[in-house]
Amino acid sequence: MPARIAGTGRYLPTEVLTNDALAQRVATSDEWIRTRTGIRQRHIAAATEQTSDLAVNAARAAIAAAGMQPADIDLIIVATATPDMIFPATATIVQDKLGIRHGGAAFDISAVCSGFVYALAIAERMVSSGGARNALVIGAETYSRILDWSDRGTCVLFGDGAGAVVLVPAPEPGIVTAHLHADGSHRHILCAPGAIQHGAITGTPFVHMDGAAVFKFAVKVMADVAFEALAAAGLSPTDVDWVIPHQANIRIMDATMKKLHLPEERLVVTVDVHGNTSAASIPLALDTAVRDGRIRRGQHVLLIGVGGGFTWGSVLVRW
């Protein structure tokens, strides 16, 4: 039985940090950030909010949009690089906070900014093979906790948020094709290389990035994996109604659209509102375009993830 997305949801924390406000903390400017990245503002989780809280808010919206109750969910996958704690998995905390008691599977996956497409591809395989019925797939992050707020090269780029979808069995495929890749030899260009040993943090627990190397790599693999999905589905770029790439940086997204020879009008952009929210960025953008009526039944939506590892992947959805 194929699987389709039955509902989407998103949540952004209340506190908004604008570029101007950030420019009072580090040597940067609204103009520099906007022209280099397209970001105008980011949301910051309250001290009392954990990644699981953001995830639960997005999940509740997605479950309601699917016309379901939390008890209908028998699989939860949370994609995150900023889990609540070392263990248990944030997905089990989400399961508990949603009040789900019947013991369906719940686990996290770590593929950084590609996390949502990885999680969606895994969930699709579990639903279509009968291993789960109604899957909740969430991307949720609190990157504000792993940023060095004195490093203007990274702290201006990221924000907190969560997005979610509910995946159900369907007679027609909603998830048409999915393609996942990784190349660990590039892990040093984007990482948070801290570790916990004997109760102490070793290495630096903050995001470290070689911006230029990330830019080059991201543009190449995003276009490659988009073409891979289209070839597998027997479609051409012009058959794609909406492209939803990882919302890292408007210039990476524009360069990808150019490689696909697609007009900017087919690109969904939300990075201006929430910055790079890593695994949360694609479902945040997806939910935005679903709820404002841009994405309609029968359309093809191409999700493209890329992130630390390096990891990358695409999921082609027929809505």
The interface mask with ligand ACO, positions 82-121, x = CB under 6 A, is -------------------------------x--------
117/209 with CB nearer ligand ACO: 209
Strand 311-318: give its sheet, edge to edge: 175-182, 311-318, 300-307, 242-245
Cβ-Cβ contacts under 8 Å for 110 (sequence gap 6 or more): 79, 80, 81
158 or 166: CB nearest ligand ACO? 158
Q: Which two tokens stand for residue 229?
A: 């999905």
CB distance 205 to 194 below 8 Å: yes
Looking at the Cβ atoms of 100 and 190, the one nearer to ligand ACO is 190
Extract the tokens encoding 252.
Answer: 């990476």
- Segment holding 243, helix H or strand E: strand 242-245
Stretch in the footprint of ligand ACO (CB under 6 A) among 28-36, 62-70, 195-203, 291-299: 28-36
Cα 184 from Cα 179, distance rounded (Å): 17
Q: Is residue 190 part of the contact set for ligand ACO (CB under 6 A)? A: yes
Active site residue ranges: 113, 246, 276
Pairing between β-strand 200-202 and β-strand 208-209 as defined by DSSP bridges: unpaired
Calculate the alpha carbon distances from 211 to 36, 88, 222, 251 in Å. 11, 32, 16, 12
What is the CA angle 114-117-123, rounded to 5? 135
Does 218 interact with ligand ACO (rule: CB under 6 A)? Answer: yes
Position 303, amino acid: L
**181 lies in the binding site for ligand ACO (CB under 6 A):** no
Name the segment binding ligand ACO (CB under 6 A); options: 87-95, 130-138, 208-216, 282-290: 208-216
Cis status of the peptide bond prior to 310, with omega within 30 of 0: yes
Does the protein bind ligand ACO through residue 249 (CB under 6 A)? Answer: yes
Taking the complex as a whole, how short is the minimal distance between the CB of residue 215 and ligand ACO, in angstroms?
4
Task: Name the residue among 314, 306, 2 with its Cα closest to residue 178.
Answer: 314
Q: Does 189 bind ligand ACO (CB under 6 A)?
A: no
What is d(CA 120, CA 113) in angstroms, rounded to the nearest whole number?
Answer: 13
**32 is an interface residue for ligand ACO by CB under 6 A:** yes
Angle (CA) 134-137-139 rounded to 5° is: 165
215 scored as a contact of ligand ACO (CB under 6 A): yes
Q: Which of 288, 226, 271, 235 is CA-nearest to residue 41? A: 271
Binding mask 271-310 for ligand ACO (x = CB under 6 A): -----x-----------------------------xx---
Stretch that binds ligand ACO, among 118-126, 149-157, 191-199, 286-294 (CB under 6 A): 149-157
Q: Smallest distance from the beta carbon of 151 to ligand ACO, in angstroms?
A: 9
- Least CB distance to ligand ACO at residue 13 (A): 19
Q: Does 39 bind ligand ACO (CB under 6 A)?
A: no
Q: For ligand ACO, which is the closer residue by CB, 51 or 277?
A: 277
Query: Helix 281-291 to helix 115-128 angle, to the nearest 10 degrees?
Result: 70
Q: Cβ distance 209 to 276 under 8 Å?
A: no
Which one of the spans 13-21, 81-89, 148-156, 289-297 is the region binding ligand ACO (CB under 6 A)?
A: 148-156
Out of 28, 57, 82, 144, the only residue in the binding site for ligand ACO (CB under 6 A) is 28
Instruction: Enumerate binding residues for ligand ACO (CB under 6 A).
Output: 28, 32, 36-37, 113, 152-153, 156-157, 190, 209, 211-212, 214-215, 218, 246, 248-249, 251-252, 276, 306-307
